[in-house]
Structure 1
Amino acid sequence: MAMTQSKARALLLTPAGLWYAALLLLPLAVVLIFSFGERSAVGGYAPGFSLDQYANLPARFAAFYNTLTLAPVGTMAALLIAYPLAYFLAVKVDPRWKTLLLVLVIVPFWTSILIRSYAWIFLLGGKGIPALLAAFGLEDLRLINTPFAVLVGIVYGYLPLMVFPIYVALEKLDKRLLEAAADLGTPPWRAFVQITLPLSMPGVLTGSMLVFILLMGEFLIPSILGGGKVFFVGNALVDLFLQSRNWAFGSAVAVALVVIMLIVVGIYARALRRFGTGRDDVGLM
């Protein structure tokens, strides 16, 4: 019987396993092989085995630095904005209005990120917010084509992806715990720190990891709002594969990015094992 169940399980998992191998593992294997090759005379890939491409990674230090700086900062900024919003939607708002407000959160996704990013070019450009601030005496303020502009685009573009995991975690929160804390005389801020925040950590971790991983491969927002002055690794990959056609070096950059993401995902998985089922040591002392 056990053998039959094992065979049935393997049979059911085989299609998904084949898709996983074909769509994820095989492309990664190709990129890994390319990373040890060379750029051919006419561009593209020439077979070979060399570590020269990895030795040349410091040439793209600026792209890695910008990515590893702005991606965590953008993730944290999105979290700081998303958590109060998700808390309000899950705990404070009247249930009759929840659906409408949740739809309003997701409405920006109905429009292309390209169009929304171009809208920020106007808002952050000379005739937008800087012109408004100039009327109050803050002249010569440059916002567009700066890291700040990229951060604004990141937070605006990825905020809904941070809100919904946190909202789901808070929605499952047992409100009786908060009522018991209030009955015991626990101040609201302490109840939040000792009950709400620990029990919502799975949503916080999931939202943060979802946004961070997508930001690690982002290229559109830095390209549009950074004006060619704020490069991410994604922009470097576009340049290496489509413009300079140095596929070997581009593959080495991609492999380095994947390694960094695997390290981050490993840290995330470890944190999720700790908070995944909520904390059992929630107290009111």
Structure 2
Amino acid sequence: MARTPLIAGNWKMNLDHKEAIGSLQKFAFSLPKEYYEKVDVAFMVPFTDIRTVQTLVDGDDLQFTYGAQDISKHESGAYTGEVSGKMLSALGCSWAVVGHSERREYHGETDKLVAEKAAAALANGISPIVCVGEPLDVREKGTHIDSVVTQTRNSLEGLSAEDLAKTVIAYEPVWAIGTGKVASAEDAQEVCAAIRQLVRELGGDEVAEGIRILYGGSVKVDSIAEIVGKPDVDGGLVGGASLKGEEFAKLAANAAQGA
């Protein structure tokens, strides 16, 4: 089954709603139209930018999707600071990142909570991008495959085969995030293949062949083509390189050519 690459820009805590307009417009003007048929592009923006992005996408009929960097496991209620799937769905979000390593590290998010957030996204018609990955010490011990597979299994707990078919998994080795270090394309392929085999076990062959598994971790313009050229790597979760519209357009174009 041919899987269209997904290039998802994760802005993290960058770009206010005014800056968002400029970055997205530059991206839209910079990516040639023919590439939109070869690669799916999405932006994971701060909560404060989502309404602005929705207005821009709808008003200009832009050919990319957008989503949130987090989601509450709760539907509503006395949960100060939380944003629900219902709220995000009303703003047209297609995606919600769950379990990013920065959320796991700085906010103590567990695999159990990540699975609950993924379920909350799916219940509201939003596809979760479930992030998993190993720290440097695990990589150096050579136990990274077992570690990531276990983390992935736990982070997908309770999801049906139908749910998995609507889910994206992002492999992001923690030691490569924001450090400038990049796992080799072979490293990414090794882990993504193991994740796909787990999905095969959990959801069957059809789901495993259809699910998109991304690589995240200091993804750059000059590295993306080789990474997505691997058989089990279906795109990238891109941090800093997604903030400047022109640069991100070059990255998306390279991904389309490398797939």
> TM-score when scaled to structure 1?
0.22
Q: Hey, which of these two has a bigger chunk of strand by percent?
A: 2
- Report which of the two structures shows the higher radius of gyration computed on alpha carbons: 1
Q: Hey, which of these two has a bigger chunk of helix by percent?
A: 1
Which structure has more relative contact order (CA 8 Å, sep 6+)? It is 1
